[in-house]
Amino acid sequence: METGTIHLVGAGPGSPDLLTLRAARLIETASLIVHDGLVDPSILAMARSDARLVSVAKQRSKHTLPQDEINALLVHEALAGRDVVRLKGGDPFVFGRGGEEMEAAQAAGVRVEIVPGISAANGAAAASGIALTHREDASIVSFVAGQCKGLSDQDWSGLAGVGRTLVIYMGVKTAPQIAEKLMADGLAPDMPIAVVENACRPEMRVLRGPLAGLPDLVMAEAVQSPALIIIGHVTARGDAAIAPLLLEATL
């Protein structure tokens, strides 16, 4: 029996219009799609009517399947001769655990194709009018995960500040610790920040304020995942006029 292929596909930040052509074709023709919870329903609706859709959605401290079992599922289906579309929000190699799934497939001798997607950071920046780099404000961009183990022990010094932009994924629940950590590392309490919730979707919101007010902003506005926190002077340059569906709040 011929082994199938695992396609690690980035679904982008939300809208089907932001899929790559390759991603759209794979979704439309796949017989099996294993997808994350952040994949927009409108993208899943593109699948053919007889496709098998398997959700492996993850939430903070609660996974439908542990990562090792997801890896095993993908490999099992491919070894049974089935092609698998592993569909992930954003890009599979940016906090998407795509590297782990690729390595598991390779260890089992299964073919893997990587189909990149627009990352959550790029999508949120474009939709909200926040340029992650700007000649006057930032020539360095860093991406970090705000939900990983040992957050307080990580060294983020130098990742944010003058001339830099810091993008924090999965940081809504840990916003108080993030603000405290960055200010303890020397970042000014009045450093501009933005929280982009549901980027590239009709319900998108951009919430702005100072770093010291980040925890209160997240709480007062009841921010929910998916959301990114962007820290740096570039966040003060966003132009809401480019996003007519944008709802803004400030604190």
Report the run of H or E that residue 156 belongs to, with start and end. none
What does the alpha-carbon distance between residue 209 and residue 229 come to, in Å, rounded to a whole number? Answer: 11
Active-site residue, selected from the candidate residues 40, 58, 62, 91 = 58
DSSP states along 186-224: T--TT-EEEEEESTTSTT-EEEEEEGGGHHHHHHHTT--
CA-CA distances (angstroms) from residue 9 to 23, 117, 225, 238?
Answer: 6, 7, 21, 30
**Nearest Cα residue to 139 out of 210, 234, 229:** 234
From 36, 40, 91, 137, active-site residue: 36
Q: Whole-angstrom Cα distance, residue 112 to residue 102?
A: 7
Q: Is 36 a catalytic residue?
A: yes
The whole-angstrom separation of Cα 132 and Cα 126 is 9
Can you tell me the distance from the alpha carbon of 110 to that of 70, in angstroms, rounded to the nearest whole number? 15
Active site residue 58: yes
- List residues with catalytic annotation: 36, 58
